[in-house]
Amino acid sequence: MAQNQDENLADITSLWHSYLDNKSIELRNQLAEHYLPLVKMVAGRLAISLPSHVDRDDLLSSGFFGLLDAIDRYDMERKNKFETYAGVRIRGAMLDYLRSKDWLPVAIRQKIRRYEQTVYELENRLGRPANDEELAEELGVSAKELQNLESQISVATVIPLDDYLRTDTPASGEEGPTERLEKAELRDTLAAAIDRLPEKEKKVVALYYYEEMTLKEISLILQLSEARISQLHTKAVFRLRGYLARMKASLV
């Protein structure tokens, strides 16, 4: 088993060197074929939170172009792992595709705005995360209606937090002091926001965004249903957005 892995690693390293020497389309396509499972993995994680009318094939196609872009831009001399570098560009290409589509119905957008504003105002007033009972009362709905609402608006949470967590690099491959400082400040602010989350929501965020697990894998670890994990994820994202909005407002 170990010998086969070593041989596969040697083969892909040799393929990379051959491609970088002459940049032929044939060799690029061989690399793309090798890393195609990476596109499917990223699409699978994103598709969990997306409505059924979003075309999965279109999502895969956009991710494939992100993979080709990563192959063209990758610099082996920088010693960073290709899978990590490509994962960022694949996800970025998919998110760009989703942004280009008006994939959220108007009724859902209205519910999202109301929910987000309510969470923002309530938690700003309380000075802490609101619980389900407080949030339901503020919205004027029952606990069951709150769960249904959060299930409907969960489709809006796939993009916002990924925007905050994206660690893409400039086309040149180099970051200037300003970019590094801004990224460090953003990470510190986001870390502070995550630290304020209720414990279960904090675990979901850590496992989903940092450990890159699927909702199904997280549900097995936390011994909760996938629907409950999705609900916790939705709550966490809107809390984080509210906290970051309050932080921004305090600086103006």
Residue-wise pLDDT for 52-106, tens only, equals 666 778 889 999 999 999 999 888 777 778 888 898 899 889 888 877 776 667 7
Residue ranges, CATH 1.10.1740.10, the chain = 2-100
CB 160 within 8 A of CB 241: yes
Q: At what angle do helices 177-195 and 226-251 cross, to 10 degrees?
A: 120
- pLDDT above 80 for 156: no
CA–CA distance, 225 with 220 (Å, rounded to integer): 8
Give the number of C-alpha atoms closer than 13 A to the C-alpha of residue 19, restricted to the C-beta side: 21
Beta strands in the chain (DSSP E): none
Beta strands in 113-248 (DSSP E): none
For residue 162, which of 208, 229, 219 has the smallest C-alpha distance? 208
| Local confidence band at 161 (pLDDT 50, 70, 90 cut-offs) | low
CA–CA distance, 166 with 209 (Å, rounded to integer): 10
* Cα Dmax for the chain: 65
Residue ranges, CATH 1.10.10.10, the chain = 106-251
Class of domain 2-100: mainly alpha
> Highest mean pLDDT range out of 16-25, 98-107, 132-141, 149-158?
132-141
Question: pTM score, two decimals?
Answer: 0.62
- pLDDT at residue 9, rounded to an integer: 62
Question: Is it true that domain 106-251 has CATH number 1.10.10.10?
Answer: yes
